[in-house]
Amino acid sequence: MDYMDSGPRYTPKSDKDWDTSVQFLPASDNKKLEKKKGPGKVGAVIGVLIFAAVIALMTGLLVWHFHFRNDVRLKKMYSGSMRITNQVFEDAYENSNSSEFKALAKQVTSQLKSIYSKSPKLSKYYVGSNIQAFSEGSVIAYYLSEFKVPAGQEASVDNAMATMDKLVENLQRSGKGSSSVLVVSDVVSSALDDRLLSTSFSRLFNYAVHTKSNEVGQIQSPGFPNSPYPPNTFIQWQLRADPNYIIKLEFDTMNLEENCKNDFVKIYDSLVAIESRVMEEMCGYYSPSEPLTFLSSGNVMLVMMASNDKKNYPGFRAKLSQVKRGSKGTTCGGHLPGEKGTFSSPNFPNYYPTQTSCQWSITVPAGKAVKLTFKKFLLSEPGQEKSKDCRKDYVEVNGKKLCGEQPEATTETSTTNIMNVVFFSDNSYVDRGFEATYEAIDVKDPCPKQFMCSNQRCIKTELKCDGWNDCGDMSDELNCKCNAKDIQCQNGLCKPMFWKCDGVNDCGDGTDELGCGGCTSGQVTCRNKKCVSEKNRCDGRDDCGDGSDELDCGRSTDSRCTELTYKCKNNKCISKVNPECDGTAECEDGSDEENCDCGRSKFKTSRIVGGQDTEEGEYPWQVSLHIKNYGHACGATIISPRWLVTAAHCVQDDGTTRYSQPGTWELYLGLHTQRKIGKGGSAATILQKAQVRIINHSVCNDLMAGQITSRMFCAGVLTGGVDACQGDSGGPLTSPSGSRNFLAGVVSWGDGCARRNKPGIYTTVTKFRGWIKEKTGV
């Protein structure tokens, strides 16, 4: 996309512009080819002269090639803003076609040229500038400047542009200006996002919107909600509010391609795309239950959208309004007295504004101390995902800075009855902020009748030494005395005995996985319990006899077909158990990477005991199977436009109902409020989700009295409280891998629901993968 109508353009010829005719040489005359008398001295002199001329020509061409051809110049665009302190804003400056706008724009362009001329790095590469907009604040000018920079000099020009503010200060201080020259300050500039310079944009739109008091406006992507947004499109909305107001932008829909390199929406706290003023960049899908609300720091905001030529989605819609500066929700800080209370960053749980500074002073009764607990802490931005140097947005508690993303229940305590909390956000990138509670505690006993973790959290005493990291810093699991039902890890931790030999390093030092296969040190245990040398693993030979020593070797090889191999569409087998849709084509015919557009939740994230509500679009493959005129009976999983996977007992006929016939059923796809579930009794009204753990097959078989076959596996939380239950039969147990989810199990049966040491039983889908493929073609 060309932001500036300046500079030459080069258009290469197409194939049609070239002369493609062919000329044939005439037949040779043999007589003319007979030997003749040599040319003599004159001919030799002429030959030498011609040779010298050729050498000179070649030398000239080489000089031209290496000197002039290597002087390749790259187009660099910079966006910026500056405050003009000796001008007063006029309403006419909002209209770029007004004579007032054009007159001031001409002055600003001249001023920019003068500023660039004072910098040796900028003056020789400068092409021109274009004034994009003006806003209040004396007058703030927003501009784009173009440079033609030699290859390899980009960094030096970037550095020179970064010091523009100092250059302007020096010019102002030198007194070279006059009353006719604009007095400028607060100069900000940055290189334009390279994606915005794409030449593939075929549709360009620019909208200017001024919000009105007590009115709610709307902006949306083209075609929304009736059709996807168009490809190769660039759109920007320049938003304004009245003086002493700020802009409030609320997205109720955001559904773009998940890769921000292709399609994206960017929000700027500016009227031009200055990267140091980016508030947020968004792509993918955001649930309506996750508020996407932004506040500007001043009375302007820029919303920008760009799309490429592939995978266009529904787009976005946002409400637009103006809020009085200093109104409720936009301010923060103050004195917080009393035994306990709650406070948060501005606009929480929505995004806090840029350029914000708040200070709270918490005071509890004398003789007490202050305990501050963060229920949520989200201050992440590019370059500060981790809580390390905290140079950008941060919360400071009694001199200690916190930033990035902190775990829930992060706790800080004071040594006196006063605590000072500071919140600061810089001029770019915002997040949802924080919510915190404070309470007065006894300095001598900060966790009465509870265990105090090293990170100052308080947990129930019975959670100490239970094998779980309840504190978050493992302090509740250190220096424990294990009982007979625990594994004594070599590092001092205690873990439940049923985690032994489950294939997971629960101890952290491998103690719980020692001596599990009966094989000696230096050997590996095959699936058929045979022992082979570790040196034979992944050597390309089937030493185990069942091929298990050649699995998960970081490569796949042609193998004889067994239950441990994968059969490609060409009937060849490869030595990888689950190669489908892992991003690497192991089959010669590429069939392991076909039909891989499924299993993706829209998120960048009947009744389940101990579960949590799901978000809309989080599990789009989930199905509720309803018996007509009765209600929910079973769950199922979509695996193609025509096929579902469910449990066999869900569709087994009985004496009165033909469950095997499609006409018996109704399908409910997506997120619905359920009012009936059949004989499961009271049920959750929202689809539930729960995290469970795969349990060692031998351990599970012992717990379930030997009822577990090779086609089943166990999953759950053996301490109880989380499980699938009645009405969940046929539903999926999915395993995430990268950006996809794979169907690992189907809810089958169990001994009660969420009982201690009674896991849920699931059908192992991989055991039926061949049969599913044979019957469905999927």
Residue 547 is which amino acid? G
Q: Residue 285: which of 307, 254, 310 has the closest Cα?
A: 254
Q: Strands across the sheet with 394-397, in order?
A: 334-337, 356-363, 418-425, 394-397, 400-402
- Tell me the CB-side half-sphere exposure of residue 44, using CA atoms within 13 A: 3
Cα–Cα distance, 105 to 132 (Å, whole number): 9
Work out the angle at residue 28's Cα, subtended by the Cα atoms of residues 22 and 33, and round it to the nearest 5 degrees. 135
Both tokens of residue 726? 């009645």
Residue 544 is which amino acid? C
Catalytic residue among 653, 660, 702, 739: 653
Cα–Cα distance, 253 to 239 (Å, whole number): 19
Over its C-alpha atoms, the chain yields an Rg (Å, rounded) of 35
CB 73 within 8 A of CB 149: yes
Distances (CA, A) of 542 to 547, 559, 616: 5, 9, 47
Phi-psi region of 487 (alpha: psi -120 to 50; beta: other; left: phi over 0): beta
Distances (CA, A) of 248 to 13, 216, 438, 612, 665: 50, 10, 30, 31, 47
What is the three-state SS of 749-763? EECCCCCCCCCEEEE
**Residue 364 neighbours by CB distance under 10 Å:** 24
Catalytic residue among 123, 200, 361, 649: 649
CB 601 within 8 A of CB 617: yes
Is 649 considered catalytic here?
Answer: yes
3-state secondary structure of 365: coil
Is 335 considered catalytic here?
Answer: no
DSSP bridge partners of 370 = 440
CB 471 within 8 A of CB 481: no
Is 158 considered catalytic here?
Answer: no
- For 460-580, strand residue ranges (E) read 486-488, 494-496, 523-525, 531-533, 558-559, 566-567, 573-574
- Peptide bond preceding 349: is omega within 30 degrees of 0, i.e. cis? yes
DSSP per residue over 169-190, as a string?
A: HHHHHHT---TTSPPEEEEEEE
Cα–Cα distance, 245 to 510 (Å, whole number): 60
Q: Which letter, b or e, does each residue of 30-51 get, where b requires 16 or more Cβ atoms within 10 Å of its Cβ?
A: eeeeeeeeeeeeeeeeeeeeee
Catalytic residues: 649, 653, 729
